[in-house]
Structure 1
Amino acid sequence: MTEDSDADGAPEDGPTLPYGVGPWPGGPGAWPDDERYDPDLLAHGDRRNVVDAYRYWRMDAIVADLDARRHPFHVAIENWQHDLNIGSIVRSANAFLAAEVHIIGRRRWNRRGAMVTDRYQHVRHHEDVAAFRAWADAAGLPVIAVDNVAGAVPVDRAELPRDCVLLFGQEGPGLSPEAVAAAAGVVEITQYGSTRSLNASAAAAVVMYEWCRRWAQLPGSVNGRIA
């Protein structure tokens, strides 16, 4: 479900996975009468990396169900150096049900780390920080930058709006000065070891989890994940 991405050599359908289910028991006569189900998957099995509740569902049916439940936070990533972490951040955004992922800078990004989850996750491209900031302002969404720069507040003690955009930088250099200046606030992840920074995709997962810890409903609750 991407607007702008490229395979960069990644296999079209992802790797063969050791989990999933075989053909629907009982054959075609026992198939469920539900348009969300894919006849090909019912006939041959479903080995995709999806939660059990989505087994045998068509991809567009899964996306439609996710769209009805997406969280109101967005994820944005600067893409100046073709960072290989972007795919992994997209995968985490899908796992934490982000509304959308925004790629700022280079249009092309490596999908390999996404493990096909970009098919279920909306992705939007912005030419530069100014274009991204204009979009965020029009949407009425504050931008929360994530970087260990002077003045950053530990994310577990920072204000984290329910409706917002979480903005992440490149592995190594972090966010550009323009991106930090475009943010309404800057948060960081408290660390206890000798390294200066976390891997970009790990940092993104930590902050998305912190947002969900505060704002998301638990699976199985009203309007939560499907049963």
Structure 2
Amino acid sequence: MTKMMRRSFLGALAALALTMPHAAGVNAAEQATAIVAGGCFWCVEHDFRQLQGVSNVVSGYTGGSRANPTYEDYHDTDGDNPVPHVEAVEITYDPTKLTYANILDYYFHHIDPTDGGGQFCDRGPAYRPAIFVMNDAEKKEAEAKSADVAQAIKQQVAVEILPAAKFWPAEDYHQDYAEKNPTRYKYYRWNCGRDQRVEEVWSAAKTN
């Protein structure tokens, strides 16, 4: 191939590339993220994986003062680490299929919004429920949804609304835990009373 032919060929390729949508760019533009905490991240992750429009859910730690937290130390409060992280999940979703309000509504219907001291059998600040908002618009939506829930269940909502902080993904063995360890997961979830309490809260709301 001569130099002239090569230049023409490369020029044609460049022109073609400009007319084609960049796959990575299109995908990135279609994705949004939300960070919430609702007790055991295995359970919150598994619940959100069932929601159509969610493409990925990552279990992790956020909201605390320790850098590079691990499962062994994310909840420590000694020394230079006075603020514990909370178990949380980072949800990636398609905003053409789901709104942030949809995410929040689903979240509230899969936790106990009245319990700020933990969730179900998991107690303490590391398991407290929280919504980590990324901007003022999300904060307003979270506040509005929290007010709606309080009215629906006729109880005070104990879910914190906090500014988003760095999200640290948990160790690999925590990711997709329900799929990797189905028997242990189902036993833990049932023994913890998660679904029973959620049903109790929201069944009462339906009758109010």
**TM-score, scaled to structure 2:** 0.25
Larger strand fraction of residues: 2
Larger helix fraction of residues: 2
**TM-score, scaled to structure 1:** 0.24
Q: Highest relative contact order (Cα 8 Å, sep 6+), 1 or 2?
A: 2
User: Which structure is larger by alpha-carbon Rg, 1 or 2?
Assistant: 2
